[in-house]
Structure 1
């Protein structure tokens, strides 16, 4: 309670210290942005009246997204307020004074429309109903839009970060974007946490992929940052989403267009640590459209150094290990796609696509180890390890959407996904600088799944929405591993101490859900739902059937919000399930670094989490402030457990067990200030108190309960500016404090970047320069782990100073087409994802592919 009171005081002080002299962000909980900066809307007289309505295409009767709405005072014919329709064509102008008004509705590709003679009384709500826009076939040579889109949008169950204006993103990947999203933390390995939890689901355009199932960190490297439109952080998922992901859901939305004609975009970048080339094109004529794209990125000059010192005791014999490591890595990442969509009729559409992702990542590590055992002479050894992490992923989807009337629709979605993964390492073992032996570990996995999903939604009156649907997921994962040894020369042979093995894991899920949304005239919004999932497990290793068993779970969710006097309050509760991923299940004995070994546990059960949150947000003129307080309670938690090896002197073995409880209480604070229409800056801070409880094996071989508590703090600052003649600049800085673990704490780190960009040739081309961590040669991450049987201190030095030059060019002439509702796609947001974790002492390797 003391911690909660402290966080509350901090949030109140933060709100009070922010100057009220700035403004420009949508009211929290609103589904559409307010007036653009610099418009007369900033000086509109305030009242309690309200104007609402919806915009549709006059030919298809489909909603039109993002239509501009301008409000004029009829007494002087001046614009005094404005807004933009949401993704369902709805808009609302609020806090209006009594008077006579008219509105102007406009959107590219449509003829403008004026709704005149609108009379507002004090506190009156006027519903303009459905407004139809007719197509305007005139081709526009150039359209200039003044003002900036809201950086942050807040909805009843999620926070949306608009990433399109990130000028430092060129040549980077999705990791560079996610580091800047409030509520998220991304460590230096690319592992993503939401409010301190890595138990999250990551989707791409509302779709899962087996590439994400294996490792979030590796998958993010394949997504080019400059192709990301926005990132949705869903902290309180509704019943419509899969029950998996105890920490929440991250949905990465990539850029799309609804243009007619032919276009081709070329993006290129070169830097001291990586280079990239991307080609993305599209062709649309009439009812049919095609897209094709390819992205490739090469990474090089990635250097790490590490030191490790650990002491372990087994049967009253103490062994001290001192190890140093010098490593480097390089990789090639690619992402290629082919898409097709077709309007069967004015209310039916079909979408299909094929995506292929490739990852070829190699890591080289030279380890020097000294073992000092009680009563024995020191043992010196050296080990050169070359590890390969290779994968190829194919996703094929076919989706159908039938729209009966605005917001009433039925969809059928299918997805087939397959990931072929190779995780191998070769080690040369030296004794006094002479090659003594060679070792090899081969681990190949196949993860494939098929999903069928059907959803239906229908409005009830004007302020209610009912959604329900069903889903079936059929998954199969196979992982085979073997260990080989050899003399300095000659052929490899099986290693008898570590026999070959395999894991076959079938996981089928049947799910059904129902969700209901209700909105009152006084701006109360309630969204509740119930979801049931039944999981069927059939798993076995080469030693026999694994006793996991089938299980069912009922998952409720409730979200509510209320906006009053510019402040929005949100309350949320949901229950989540977290299934283990294959890296946690895979029994492959990963000994790339024999002093730090990892092995999975195929008998892991799912963990259950209850989440509670209270959110407050407010616009204070040009300042937007958001503070969220949360509690997360997890039982049967999947926890990393480390203990000394019984067979390898000085080695620490890491595995996973369902032995933990994790309780976390904290707050997230975010503030953004639009100093002018072209300059904005802000800050964010995350702080939470966590308590972890679990079990470990004591020196007498008996399980003993252990616990650890502490505060995790992180935060950052950012600033962005646009200038005349196509110039722009941006800066960002982030600091992560220490992270509490069951058996110790992992050190923090920092990250900062600046960038400038210049646009040419009527914005058809641009040139940019970005730099990151350029003031320091290296960064040190200090980790300490302790237990009754061992102590470990690990320092990793990362040399990540980087510079990159980027170039973009657009080819083709396009005309705007009416926005269309695309067929919905499969959304498998389940299974505990694998970040890969911080590798202690280097030389680690991934453990396979997670079952989805």
Structure 2
């Protein structure tokens, strides 16, 4: 513990480089009060194009960072007035301080001066990119997992695991709050988030020291929409989609903001029927297993969010926020497996497993926060406390009926699997920043405790009665406590900038599995405990050469960790059929990644990133055999993984036409030796391609075509996947003087979205392929009402390991 206090004094790197030089000032009204309702933007003198939007703090202060040398002017809009500040020159090497700007209303009205702003689909950053969901028509009617599939560099495999740039170990944040869910629990949760509530997806491949160190491949932050308007205002939305089955969604958002309070809330509902099918083929010993499966699900979801901010004065703000969701789903599965004797090709028997799976889950998060802004020295202090709770209940009815080759039933095994899971999260975080040695110093600390309880009851039907199989039932408790401190320092020198940081994390975990086992004469209680304690330092460093802002280079290094999911540590068996099950591994160790990268940005548009990453003890999904050909899946630590990746992105705009293209390529090598000829030695060259073309037909109508493609790759270290991709198209119409918005789109026009993969390990040859309801017609309508003036505060939480990342590479971006 003493070492934690020492590391608090160290400085470490960030994966981004922040420019310490700024254009700044304070915006006041005629009474010298902060002008909170104003909209502020920075423009090029040459062509009057907007460079960046300003973020006005509670005391009226604003700042624009990472601005190249040039000639600019400021534009201020408030109510029906507009004011332009005289042209000025900025050298990019020292601050430009306007001090106090007194806004003088003019007679120019917003009816005479109309300014519209459309964020680019993709914003490139030195540490990753931002996928602006609301800027694409074809995102309408989809959920969070659907959008992950289409995000540049992100792949969702057959088991709905998320990888990025060929690496697993992604950690997902919701509004900056780290989600404790991983694997299937995470994918099911992402399905509850509708695209109509998502503002942007931040894909950060090299997070800074301010972030939690978890996430070998980086982090993905899903930013939900936040009302930025003053006064009383809101929006309503409704949507409909049809594929094989119908789907509906709707919601409402309300906000009221005055000089002292900001009160906000929203609610969204979604109901739909989903469909997917899959085929699994296995060859082991002298038997070929051919399984066909079709799943139909009924899903309903409620999402809610409410909060209050109180502005004590121009330097101090407190707030409380509550959000969560409730979901109920029922899945009916039809499964048929044929057993074929390979030497003769004869069907020996068949297995029919028409199962039913009822799943209910609810989640609530509570955040308390405080923010202090130093009026004179530019320092900031934020303190956050969070509590989160997840309840997940699953009831799976699993009948297994065996038939001979004549179609007569031989015997049956019928099970009922009951799983109840609760997750409780407590976290406390403090972050402090201030100017220091002509740069910016940041210090912070965080304590987080996650406790899970997983009760698994395995019931067997005997003579029409249900009996508990005590050998297969168990209770698994997992507790994780992480104490972290970090320090980081950034500074702009002449022609270059740097940021260095160091994060220290001490981790205490304990997994306890309780159950009963037969000792030959009776059942006895057993308890398996697996405590661990490890301490890690996570340095990161970034250097940017920006002497010529039109031709910048950025170099980064970072170290990351990925801890096992509690579900993957639980050794109980989850049955899919009598001949297939999944099992946890209590001996899983964390995987560690060291990564270096270089990024080149040309004219704020063409962005090229080259990265090398080495990961030890890689998590991999192994498909193994036991008991004369029964298949089971288990996660193991592969020996190593090495990945070289190259990402190239380029936006283009001409008059009413715009486009974006992102190409991500990587070469990956997996190596491991489990003895007895059980070796893994796989390598692959793969690439992902994402593109969008948009055309503004007139002032109210626009069209868009987008598509993505993923080449053959490797899933979870052992599965070789096939290629996958699709094309979407849509129209958008703005109506009711811009307050209404219709979006119509067709997903997967050519019905090419299907997955497939193969594995050959331990004498077992496996092939799997399938598809889901990807081809859909979707319609959505949104209506905005109330005031249209921007409010000033966005809430960051204790789990929000988000830092201000500089380096806007294209278009206009709102300062944070």
TM-score, normalization by structure 2: 0.85
1:742-761 deviation per Cα after TM superposition (whole angstroms, max 9, x unaligned): 33402232122111121211
Deviations 1:621-655 (A, max 9, x none): xxx21111111101122222221022xx4321111
Q: Report how far residue 239 of structure 1 moved.
A: 0.9
1:685 is aligned to 2:663 = yes
Alpha-carbon deviations, 1:188-233, whole Å to 9, x = none? 7654322122311111221224456863322222222133222222
Instruction: Give the superposition deviation at 1:65.
Output: 9.8
Contact 1:54-1:63 at 8 Å conserved across structures? no
Match for 1:423 among 394, 404, 409? 394
CA distance in 2 between partners of 1:109 and 1:569 (Å):
42
Distance 1:68 1:505, change over 3 A: same
Q: 2:806: which partner in 1?
A: none
Q: Give the deviation of 1:372 after TM superposition.
A: 3.7
Equivalence for 2:608: 627
Out of 205, 215, 236, which is 1:245 matched to? 215
The residue that corresponds to 1:327 in the other structure is 295
Q: Deviations over 1:247-268 (max 9, x none)?
A: 0111122222332322231111
**Correspondence 1:208-223 to 2 at 5 A:** 208-210=178-180, 215-223=185-193
Q: Counterparts of 2:269 and 2:86 in 1: how far apart (Å)?
A: 53
Q: Given the alignment of the two structures, is residue 538 of structure 1 paired with residue 510 of structure 2, yes or no?
A: yes
State whether structure 2 residue 705 is matched by structure 1 residue 731. Answer: yes
Distance 1:257 1:605, change over 3 A: same
Aligned to 1:144, which of 114, 118, 126?
114
Partners of 2:693 and 2:581 in 1: how far apart? 43
- For residues 653-690 of structure 1, the C-alpha deviation after alignment (integer angstroms, 9 at most, x for no partner) is 111122431111121111111122x3211221111111
Quote how far apart the aligned CAs of 1:374 are: 7.8
Closer/same/farther in 2, CA of residues 127 and 589 from structure 1, 3 Å limit: closer
The answer for the alignment partner of 1:399 in structure 2 is 369
| Cα distance in 2, alignment partners of residues 757 and 304 from structure 1 | 29
Q: 1:54 to 1:783 in 2, by over 3 A?
A: same
Any stretches of 5+ residues in structure 1 without a counterpart? 1-27, 33-50, 74-78, 831-852
2: distance between equivalents of 1:117 and 1:714? 44
Residue 6 (structure 1) aligns with: none
Mapping of residues 409-808 of structure 1, within 5 Å: 409-432=380-403, 436-460=412-436, 463-487=438-462, 490-495=464-469, 498-522=471-495, 524-542=496-514, 543-563=526-546, 564=548, 566-619=550-603, 624-646=605-627, 649-676=628-655, 678-696=656-674, 702=676, 704-741=678-715, 742-776=717-751, 779-808=753-782
Over residues 323-344 of structure 1, what are the superposed CA-to-partner deviations in whole Å (9 max), with x where a residue is unaligned? 2223222311221111111101
1:766 Cα shift? 2.2
Greater Cα shift, 179-188 or 326-335: 179-188
CA distance in 1, matches of 2:529, 2:256: 51
**Is the Cα–Cα contact under 8 Å of residues 299 and 330 in structure 1 kept in the other structure?**
yes
Residue by residue over 1:806-830, the C-alpha shift from the partner in whole angstroms, topping out at 9 and shown as x without a partner, is 122223x21525524x553112669
Q: Distance in 2 between matches of 1:119 and 1:773?
A: 49
Query: RMSD of the alignment, in Å?
Result: 3.2
Q: Is the 8 A contact 1:156 1:559 kept in 2?
A: no
How is 1:298-313 mapped onto 2 (pairs within 5 angstroms)?
298-300=271-273, 302-313=274-285
Measured after TM superposition, the shift of residue 589 of structure 1 is: 0.7
Deviation, 1:69, is 2.5
Secondary structure in 2 aligned to 1:492?
strand
More divergent stretch after superposition (539-548 vs 785-794): 539-548
The answer to whether the aligner puts 1:371 opposite 2:332 as a matched pair is no
* 1:476 to partner: Cα distance: 0.7
Q: Flag structure 2 segments of 5+ consecutive residues without an equivalent.
A: 1-14, 56-61, 515-525, 803-816
Equivalent position SS for 1:243: coil
Instruction: Identify which range, 447-456 or 711-720, moves more after superposition.
Output: 711-720
Q: Describe the superposition over 1:384-410 as per-residue Cα deviations: whole angstroms up to 9, x where unpaired.
A: 111233211110010100111374111
Is this contact kept in 2: 1:477–1:504, CA < 8 A?
yes
1:766-798 CA-to-partner distances (Å, cap 9, x unmatched) read 22211112333x644331110232111222143
- Structure 2 Cα separation of the partners of residues 65 and 587 of structure 1: 58
Distance 1:247 1:60, change over 3 A: farther
- When structure 1 is superposed on structure 2, of 429-438 and 750-759 the one drifting more is 429-438
Does residue 1:826 correspond to 2:809, yes or no? no
Contact 2:45 2:87 in 1 (8 A): no
When structure 1 is superposed on structure 2, of 127-136 and 280-289 the one drifting more is: 127-136
- Once structures 1 and 2 are overlaid, which stretch shifts more, 222-231 or 154-163? 154-163
Residue 306 of structure 1: how far off its partner (Å): 2.7
- Do the aligned partners of 1:212 and 1:219 also contact (CA within 8 Å) in 2? no
Partner of 1:12: none
**Deviation larger for 340-349 or 561-570:** 561-570
Deviation at 1:110, TM superposition (A): 9.8
Contact in 2 for aligned 1:401/1:412 (Cα 8 Å): yes
Alignment CA distance shift 1:538-1:110 (3 Å): farther
C-alpha deviation, 1:91, in angstroms: 5.2
CA distance in 2, matches of 1:426, 1:557: 49
Moved more, 702-711 or 142-151: 142-151
Post-superposition Cα deviations, 1:102-121, rounded to whole Å, max 9, x if no partner, equal 8343244597555558579x
For the 8 Å contact 1:305–1:796, the answer to whether it is kept is yes
Deviation of the 1:548 alpha carbon: 4.0
C-alpha contact 1:450 1:473 (8 A) present in aligned 2 = yes
Partner SS state of residue 164, structure 1: helix
SS in 2 for 1:175: helix
The answer to whether the 8 A contact 2:624-2:631 is kept is: yes
Kept in 2, the 8 Å contact 1:749–1:781? The answer is: yes
Deviations 1:120-178 (Å, cap 9, x if unpaired)?
A: 9xx89675313433467899776732454344333443422333322222322233444
Q: Answer whether contact 1:69 1:106 (CA < 8 A) is retained.
A: no
CA distance 1:544–1:733, change in 2 (3 Å) = same
SS of residue matched to 2:187: helix
Structure 1, 131-140 or 433-442: larger mean CA deviation: 131-140
In structure 2, the residue matched to 1:836 is none
Structure 1 Cα separation of the partners of residues 127 and 195 of structure 2: 25
Tell me the CA shift for residue 503 of structure 1.
0.8
Q: TM-score, with normalisation over the residues of structure 1?
A: 0.82
